[in-house]
Structure 1
Amino acid sequence: MLKHGIRKVHTQASKTVLYGWGQTLALPLSKGSTDRIFDRPRSLKEEQDYALPTHADVTRVATGWAHSLLAFDNQVYAFGLDQSGQLGGSHATFPDEVKLLACGREHSHVVTENKEGTQLYSFGNNMYGQLGVGKSKRSDPGTLVCERTPQPVHFNHHITDIVCGLDHTVIATQQEEVYAMGWAADGQLGQGFEDKNRPSRLTFPHHVDKLSSSTDFTLALTPGGLWTWGNSEYGQGLQGRIIDRILEPLKIQMDVSDFAAGGPFSVILASDGQVYTCGYGALGLDKVIQTLEPTLVQGLSNKEIIKVFASTDYAAALSKNGDLYTWGLNGSGRLGLGPTDAIVPKRVDIDKQVIDVSLGTNHAIATCAE
């Protein structure tokens, strides 16, 4: 099964190049600004203000609401808004190689790994406890709770995947356990309504191959199938009906190869290679704005899709030969298709083979074969 994350890029080519589009504030450029937009993909290394070391072959990318993390070896660079410290000082060197990155609305995580195991570092907004360091607005009332530099989290479990929603975090471990922390108002922690300021274990006795979240619900793939919890008021929980809040994991009756949790919708890559969507909004379906049943995205049939991605109001799919397709609302040019929205999937014009992509709320970064 595929083991990539919506908010991570695991590059496999020996040499890669980054393409970016959308709001440039969170792209690795020294002159990014809120009013500067790329509505089509740009080779970032060709920009005069490229802000990463030119020798760096980026191996991890994570994108959030308005910031990004990029890593190579044990180095992490951050770009974008930083009002809550979500950039962690913009550049950090860690004692071990970076294994995973994750970004939420205003919080960030870095997971490093050595032969002894993994270490989680967290920084940014912590109002709901989403950093897992034991603080929150409840424990520290009247103060802006945030961490402006990476803080080690005391978590003695080997981390295999980590994802962020807007204000929560979910972790899968090698010990076949799932933990969550942060905001819980919509059940997105999978353990009721109570916020958690430290990693809190779900009652979920399954090994997890992959997690996905970008807003206020979570999808988790296990050898026994796909599961969901959190907000499903638009039917994005793939239960065939609207459920306001799913407070503990529910199984989804589909044979799944890959998947992505958007805002009010989900994207599913079935084992037969067909792509389905469910929920409301960026469904990729002509004349259909909401569906409570997984519905075939006909525009991706026969495209040999191998990965799917989603963010708040748009989604993407990657084919076997490296073609990228996007659809949804095109705020800030985030579809990479020029100035217009795309109701159904359209191919993004990139003159390289796309290996992976990370979708932020208003920007995207693709890793391509050089």
Structure 2
Amino acid sequence: MSTWLVTGGAGFIGGNFVLEAVARGVKVVNLDALTYAGNLRTLAGLGGHPGHVFVHGDIGDRELVGRLLAEHRPDAVLNFAAESHVDRSIDGPGAFVQTNVVGTLGLLEAVRDHWKTLPAAAAAAFRFLHVSTDEVYGTLGETGKFTETTPYAPNSPYSASKAASDHLVRAFHHTYGLPVLTTHCSNNYGPYHFPEKLIPLVIAKALAGEPLPVYGDGRQVRDWLFVADHCEAIRTVLAGGRVGATYNIGGNAEKQNIEVVQAVCALLDARRPRADGLPRSRQIVHVADRPGHDRRYAIDATRLQEELGWAPARTFEQGLALTVDWYLANQAWVDGVLDGSYRLQRIGTAA
């Protein structure tokens, strides 16, 4: 049985990854600081599972991370832990620097020190996989896509902090030889997504009969990636990626924000019509644009497809339908986030 240390495994992408990894027979040691975006209810189905060990703690706590590495001796460390909401980074960038930069540095130092103690064969097989974002590349015009060689040009405090963490990961490989892998994903969506992000926010507000805010003209373009496809891509990179390499992960689904909102409205109209029979698109309102809002992102995932054979398994239309259906069937999870009760739940830390 493989053992993986997963950081940020109570968040959106990390939580989905942990659920799928444990279901595939991997033992997961799950380290999460349980900031506002960490939700233990996402992991409720793993309660008592011998393949899942949850630890409440910070990635920057070198003593704790070192103890976990020594005790569980994982084959890989996968770093999902991050502050990730752009609007929050604009209001308070310090938390993003602390988690995404300082925290990642502490994690890297602990992992490096542990890796140096491993026997030769175990050290050669060990991997540190860092999950990053396409936002480090900045913004695109109407054409072109981000490749792994696109120069970094982050435009928000969030993306700048992620760019810094990427550089640290690269430096630890080139300076110390730590066997690292880095992935850059496009916009994720799917089950367990925190309702401050576009798709779950629209679902929640649409069902509540509230206005659906759209920044500016709504024509900002994103490449949408279903979270289960992202998790599969990460497992693929972990299994066969070239040490020191970066891999872009995209969904081949460029959509304008307004198109996404309208698509969610149409799905809800079909599944949960308004009492007055009117289309939910009538609830859309345009609001002042976000400061420094990047206009377009698009991912070229050719390297991942050609080297490792990965491609997204779902179209945007398929993934969005699955997402809307999940939220409609899991209103209790959503309500727990909206009323804040999810933050009252904690599990014990490792000894």
TM over 0.5: no
Higher helix share: 2
Larger RCO: 1 or 2 (CA < 8 Å, sep 6+): 2
TM-score by length of 1: 0.28
TM-score by length of 2: 0.29
Larger Rg: 2
